[in-house]
Structures are given as structure tokens and as C-alpha cells.
Structure 1
Amino acid sequence: MLEVKGLTKRFGGNLAVDNVSFRVDRPMMIGIIGRSGAGKSTFLRMMNRLTEASEGVLAFEGRNVLPLAGKAKREWQSTCAMIFQQFNLVPRMDVVSNVLHGTLGRRSTLATMFNLYPESDIHQAIDILDRLGIAQHAEKRAEALSGGQQQRVAIARALMQDPKVILADEPIASLDPMNAQTVMEALRRIHDEDGRMVIANLHTLDTARRYCDRIIGMRDGRVVFDGTPAQLTTGVARDIYGAGADFSEAATSTEIRDHHDIEAAEIRNAEVAI
């Protein structure tokens, strides 16, 4: 379904993504982890064609999407929707109109200028908001919503594109644990119920283990781990992050757990590492 071969991105003399290769044979929920600067965001931006690759192949359903231009490139960007850490909504616009922006790729210039939407699209937008539990906020300005609600609006906008792939670049990095859990559960449901591939850059290991089928670890632009959540031991995590023996997952945990749960998890991780 997705095949990445030798994908590389150079910024001057620096390698942001260095010869990345992997393949995905079916729709999965994939988490990409690694420290800041590992190349995670650059990889997603290349996949969505927001950033041009220096070399390599990125083939989806047998077609290399990297050379696409013009209409074909825009069609790919509709097929491969992007969700950002900072939501990228229009703050003063109402929620349902923000969601309807997901249809811009298939609307005429005139319709876009005058915000003319078919009634069927409006109903679809409200249905998607209802699915995500925020239909009651459809008429509010986006800026009036909490961070977690705004991220669900961004997910709804992505779903309006009817994509085969959803890319999420640190979707919960700016959210509190409760909203982070709500957003991750929404992405997981979309994968399970719709059969869409979801690839998310994540900054916490517990989140990747809990929600993802497969985890890819990046360090200095290269893939240094590719496996299941069960294979992501504390020792492997230390290697991905270049951390020492004092590395503790509890410090970055986003799970809603009490202190005793965190201590128990640390003991289990230590036993696995030994």
C-alpha cells in the first residue's frame, strides 16, 4: 500500500531525512517517535508534498507521488490529509466553515471566493463533528473552543477530504492529558472504523504503545527501530533517543494514571530491559 525507498531530504549540507526505507502492506496506525530534530516532521511534510524530497521514492498504491505536479499533486494532498500541532484553523470563522475548508481541493474558484457550499457538504460536516463529539459547537468561532476541541475540528476538516491516509504531526503536543487522550482515541476510531491509514508523529512512548499497531523510531534522520509496541522496550527507547541509564518514560507520560500506576509501569519496563 505504501512503499518508501531511500527517501532523503537535504537542507544545504545537513541531512534532515537520511535514506529512509520501509513498506506498509495494509492500513495501519503507525507512530513515529524520536527526539526533536530526528526528521519526523520533515518526513511527513515530504509525504504530503509540503516539502520536496531531495531523492528517493514514495509510492502509494504503486504510484510514486514525489514527481506529481499541478492537479495530480493537489489530488494526492486530498488523498493524504495533514493534521498539524497548532490546528491551523481560521480563529474567527465558525467551526463548521473551518471543517468545510476540507473541500477546497474539489471546489471551483468562484465557489471558494463566495463561500458557497452544497447543502450535502454542510450536512456531512455536521455529521463528522457529531461523530467527534463536538457538533454542538458547530456555530461557534473556532477560537472559542478549547485546544482539544480545536484539534478535533482539524481532524473533522481532514475527514471532509475523504482521505485514504491521515498524517498527524505531533497532534497532542500542546494538549493536556485528558484532551490528548480524547484526540488519540478519535484517531484510533477513524482507523478502526474507516480503514484509513494513520501516521502520527508522537513525543511520548506510552501514547505510541497504547494506540499504534506499529512504531518507527527515528534518530538523526534515519530509521533505527521498526517494530511492534511490545518490542519497544526501555532499552530500545534509550537507543532511539540517545539517552542514558537515567532515562525515565514517566516524566513524559500523557496517560491519565495515578502515581502508583506510574511506579508499577517503571518497574515493568526495568524488568523487560533486564
Structure 2
Amino acid sequence: MLTVSNLTRRFGKNTAVDAVSFEVERPAMIGIIGRSGAGKSTLLRMLNRLTDASEGVIAFEGRDVTALRGAEKRAWQSDCAMIFQQFNLVPRMDVVSNVLHGTLNRRSTMSTMFNLYPEADIHRAIDILDRLGIAEHAPKRAEALSGGQQQRVAIARALMQDPKIVLADEPIASLDPMNAQVVMDDLRRIHEEDGRTVIANLHTLDTARRYCDRVIGMLHGRVVFDGTPEQLTTGVARDIYGADAGFSEASTSTSIETIERPGVAAIRQAEAAL
């Protein structure tokens, strides 16, 4: 499906991503871990084409993504949706309109200017919100929602694009442990139920082990580990984070609560009642 070959990004004399190569042969949930400044976010931005590569090639289903321009590039950005740490919603706009922004790449300039949406798109947006447990909040302003709810709105906006790949840049870094689990559960379900590839930048080892089929570790812009969660031992983690023998995994833990799915459903019902 996806092949990344010698992907490199330089900013002046600094190399943020250094000759990264990996392949994704079938839909998977992949976690990318590493210390701050390891190049994780720059890598995802290059995959989405928000940032151009200095060297290397991104290929998807045999097509050179790095060569796309104009409408073809925008179409790729719909196929490869991006979810950001800070949600990137329009705070004063209602939730359903924020979700409908996921269709902007395929709408005319006139309909965008006057905020006109087909009825079928509106129904689909509400269905996606319902799937994520927040349909009751559709008419509310985005700024009225909690952080966890806003991140689920951002996920809904990404799903509105009907992407083949979902990229999530530190999707739980701003969330408390309970909301972090809800968001990660949703991303995992999107992979399992929809057959989409999900690639998430994560700053914690426990989250990567719990939710991902494959973990890629980066240090100084390079891939230093690519394996299964079971292979991600404390010693390997020490190498990924460039730490000494005093390294403790507790320093990278989210302390995500272990809540069974019925418990998560109860949380969402309580949210809806507020």
C-alpha cells in the first residue's frame, strides 16, 4: 500500500527527518514514538504533503505522492487525512459544520463561501458523530466541548473525507487519561472496522504497546526501531529515547485508565447528559 523510501527533510543546516524508509503492505495501526524533536511530526506532515520532502519518495498503491501538484495533491490530502494535537477546529462554529469541513477539498468555491452543504453530507456527518458518541453535541459550538470531545470532532472531520490513511499527530497529548483512552479506542476501531491504516505519533510507550500492531521508533530523525509491541523492551526503549541506564518507562506513561467498553459507553452517556 504505502512505501516510504529515503525520505529526508532539511531545514537549513538541520536535518529533521533523515533517510527514513519503511513499507506498509496492508492496513495496520502503527505507532511512531520518540523523544521531542525526533522528527515524528515532520514525517507525518510529509506523508500528508503539508511539508515537502527535501529528498526521497512516498508511494501509495504505485503512485508517486511526492510528485503530486495542484488538484491531485489536494485529492491525496483527502485520502490521507490529518488529525492534530490541538484539534484545529473553528471554535465559534457549530460541531457539525466543523465536521463538514472535511469535504472542502471536493466542494466548489461558491458553496464554500456561502457555507452550503448537500443534505446527504449533513446526514453523514451526524452519523459519524453518532458513531463517535457525540451526535448530541452537533448543534453546539466547538469551543463548548471538552478537550476529548473536540478531538473526537476532529476525528469525525477526518472520517468525513473517507480517507484510506488516517494520520494522527500526538492525538492524546493534550488529554487526561480517561479521554485519552476514549480517543485511542476510537482510532483503533476505525482501523479494525473500516480497514483503514492509522499512523499515530505517540509520546508514550504504554499507549503504543496497547493499541498498535507495529511500532516505529525515531531518534535524531532516523528510524532506530521497527517491530512489534512485544519487541519494544525497556532496553530498546532506552535506545529510542537516547537514555542511559537510569531510564524509567514511567516517564513516558500516560497512565491511561483501563476501562472496559461498557464503561466507555457509560462515560459517553454521562457526557451527553451534561
Normalising by structure 1, what TM-score?
0.93
**Is the partner of 1:127 in helix, strand or coil?**
helix
Would you say 1:137 and 2:124 are equivalent positions? no
In the alignment, the residues of structure 1 paired with residue 10 and residue 254 of structure 2 have an alpha-carbon distance, to the nearest angstrom, of 33
The answer for the alignment partner of 1:33 in structure 2 is: 33
The answer for the alignment partner of 2:196 in structure 1 is: 196
Would you say 1:237 and 2:237 are equivalent positions? yes
Q: Is the 1:92–1:143 Cα contact (8 Å) retained in structure 2?
A: yes
**Is the partner of 1:66 in helix, strand or coil?**
helix
Would you say 1:104 and 2:78 are equivalent positions? no
**Is the partner of 2:163 in helix, strand or coil?**
coil
Deviations 1:196-253 (A, max 9, x none): 0000000000000000000000000000000000000000000000111221112332
Amino acid corresponding to residue 191 of structure 2 in structure 1: H
Amino acid corresponding to residue 38 of structure 1 in structure 2: A
In the alignment, the residues of structure 2 paired with residue 132 and residue 257 of structure 1 have an alpha-carbon distance, to the nearest angstrom, of 19
Q: Is the 1:214–1:229 Cα contact (8 Å) retained in structure 2?
A: yes
The answer for the alignment partner of 2:249 in structure 1 is: 249
Deviations 1:157-202 (A, max 9, x none): 0000000000000000010000000000000000000000000000
In the alignment, the residues of structure 2 paired with residue 223 and residue 252 of structure 1 have an alpha-carbon distance, to the nearest angstrom, of 19
Q: Is the 1:17–1:221 Cα contact (8 Å) retained in structure 2?
A: yes
**Is the partner of 1:38 in helix, strand or coil?**
coil
**Is the partner of 2:18 in helix, strand or coil?**
strand
The answer for the alignment partner of 2:267 in structure 1 is: none
1:145-156 alignment to 2 at 5 Å? 145-156=145-156
Displacement of 1:255 in angstroms is 3.3
**Is the partner of 1:88 in helix, strand or coil?**
coil
Displacement of 1:18 in angstroms is 0.4
Aligned residue pairs: how many? Answer: 258
Displacement of 1:131 in angstroms is 0.2
Amino acid corresponding to residue 206 of structure 1 in structure 2: D
Structure 1 segments of 4 or more deviating over 2 A? 255-258
1:105-124 alignment to 2 at 5 Å? 105-124=105-124
Structure 2: where are the runs of 5+ without partners?
Answer: 259-274
The answer for the alignment partner of 1:86 in structure 2 is: 86
The answer for the alignment partner of 1:262 in structure 2 is: none
Structure 1: where are the runs of 5+ without partners?
Answer: 259-274
Displacement of 1:257 in angstroms is 5.2
1:214-225 alignment to 2 at 5 Å? 214-225=214-225
Q: Is the 1:177–1:255 Cα contact (8 Å) retained in structure 2?
A: yes
Deviations 1:6-34 (A, max 9, x none): 00001111111000011110000000000
Q: Is the 2:181–2:257 Cα contact (8 Å) retained in structure 1?
A: no
Amino acid corresponding to residue 226 of structure 2 in structure 1: D
Normalising by structure 2, what TM-score?
0.93
Q: Is the 1:6–1:20 Cα contact (8 Å) retained in structure 2?
A: yes
In the alignment, the residues of structure 2 paired with residue 14 and residue 138 of structure 1 have an alpha-carbon distance, to the nearest angstrom, of 44
**Is the partner of 1:81 in helix, strand or coil?**
strand
The answer for the alignment partner of 2:47 in structure 1 is: 47
The answer for the alignment partner of 2:226 in structure 1 is: 226
In the alignment, the residues of structure 2 paired with residue 64 and residue 212 of structure 1 have an alpha-carbon distance, to the nearest angstrom, of 27
The answer for the alignment partner of 1:57 in structure 2 is: 57
Q: Is the 1:181–1:255 Cα contact (8 Å) retained in structure 2?
A: no
The answer for the alignment partner of 2:263 in structure 1 is: none
Amino acid corresponding to residue 72 of structure 1 in structure 2: E
Deviations 1:31-59 (A, max 9, x none): 00000110000000001010010010100
Q: Give me the CA root mean square deviation.
A: 0.9
**Is the partner of 1:198 in helix, strand or coil?**
strand
Amino acid corresponding to residue 250 of structure 1 in structure 2: A
Q: Is the 2:178–2:257 Cα contact (8 Å) retained in structure 1?
A: no
In the alignment, the residues of structure 1 paired with residue 92 and residue 257 of structure 2 have an alpha-carbon distance, to the nearest angstrom, of 36
Amino acid corresponding to residue 233 of structure 1 in structure 2: T
